[in-house]
Chains A and B, each alone.
Chain A
Amino acid sequence: MYLGFVTFWSGFFQSLIESRDVFFKAAQVTLALTAVSIFIALFIGLFFALLKISNVKPLEWIANAYIYVVRGTPLIVQIFVFFYGLTSIWMISGFWSVALGLAFHNGAYIAEIFRGSIQSIGKGQTEAGRSLGMSQMVTMRRIILPQAFRRALPPLGNQFIIGLKDSSLAAFIGVQEIFALATTRGANTFDYMTWLLVCAVWYLILVFILTLVVGLVEKKLAVSD
């Protein structure tokens, strides 16, 4: 029993170290997926957040419908719909269909984060901007959004982490990222546990780095406090 424990863990660490190069490559795919999808999702999120606060009913309905659909259906379904749907009309790689699927998914959550943070900025800020002759657009861009973005950062960081981990679903359409690599290795060696734990360690490292980066940005934006 004790011997089995020791053998397993020494085997685990050996696998972790020996496989570092291939996993490093897979981690780059995971990071690229995350970065691309989050980047696009930020714009989607901002767009739908602005629709939601536009006070124009049809625009609000569109935003609500989008958020309702995304929140109400499983991510894996959305990714498969994007994959089969997009590849049937447009030659697009597995990577890009997952990236777009993740962006579409995260955009809805980010829209709600932005909406909340924009609405949390006091009305006085808008009035101050408008009273100086700024248009609604300039007031939004120069006064409200910078403050709202700062307030959105903690929940955004959270969403980024979720996005990073959700990118593991790309494995199901054959993108060679961390989880795909781990399951392949597991199947080949009949040692799933070792490779799942290796995969977990890599995710922990990536999340650690991401948390660090978000923390740094938060600190940088906190100079005005």
Chain B
Amino acid sequence: MIEVKELNKYFGDLHVLKGIDFNVDESEVVCLIGASGSGKSTMLRCLNFLEMKNSGEIKLKGESIDPNSDDLNGVRQQVGMVFQHFNLFPHKTVLQNVIEAPIQVKKISKSQAKKEGHELLEKVGLGDKADVYPSKLSGGQKQRVAIARALAMKPEIMLFDEPTSALDPELVGEVLQTMKDLAQEGMTMVVVTHEMGFAREVADRVVYMHDGKIVETGAPKDIFENPKEVRTQEFLSSIL
């Protein structure tokens, strides 16, 4: 589904991604773990071109994407993104948040968008909140709306950038459950997370990043129980 080759990214003089090779298969759930500053979020943001790579290749469904010539808006429609800080549109109700992009970008009819929007809100357990403004929601509810909003574009892959890091501990569970449901439906997912429990239980593959490089990648069981690399061992022992 996604293939990344020799990806390099600089912020000024800072080399944040150092020749990353990475791929995600269809219906696969990949969790990116690693310390802050290791480049996981930057790499995720390169996948939908919120950050532009400096060199390397990013392929989506076998097609290499060139940010200068390809229609990035079209690419982004296929790649949903959920942010750490939700980034809901505060001036729009929950339902309006969900239907905005389908109406504005996909040009589907308002009635159709509303119908699908209500279904998505039911799916994330917020059917009764359609006409409420985001300011009235808890963090967990906001994040579930954000997931529904991304799903409304019917993406082929979903990117999650630390989706539970800004939540109160008691609200983390509901968001992870929603993501778990999504994974079970076969959604292709790349998740940057510090929730090792989630990674262990839901991920098909775990990728450990350190200092802009992928240090180790493997099945959750192998990574968590028998990490091969010393760095991975150190990281896991420091957080588990």
Contacts and interface: CB of A to CB of B under 8 A. Distances in A.
Nearest to A121: B90
A133 interface: yes
A125 B81 CA distance: 13
B87 A130 contact: no
Given A134-B73, A135-B73, A142-B100, A128 B87 contact: yes
Contacts of B101: 129, 132-134
Contacts of A131: 48, 50, 76, 79-81, 83, 150
Contacts of A150: 91
Interface string B73-93: 110110111010101111111
Contact of B87 (A125, A133, A138, A146): A125
B135 interface: yes
Interface in B46-85: 48, 50, 73-74, 76-77, 79-81, 83, 85
Contact of A132 (B90, B91, B92, B105): B105
B87 A127 contact: yes
A115 B101 CA distance: 25
A124 B85 contact: yes
Contacts, number: 70
Interface residues of B, number: 29
Contacts of A147: 89-91
Interface string B127-145: 0000001110000000000
B210 interface: no
Interface string A142-163: 1100110010000000000000
Interface of A: 122, 124-125, 127-135, 138, 142-143, 146-147, 150, 223-225
Interface of B: 48, 50, 73-74, 76-77, 79-81, 83, 85, 87-93, 100-101, 104-105, 133-135, 146, 149-150, 153
Top 9 nearest A-B pairs (CB, nearest first) are A133-B77, A132-B101, A128-B87, A131-B81, A124-B87, A224-B133, A133-B76, A133-B105, A133-B73
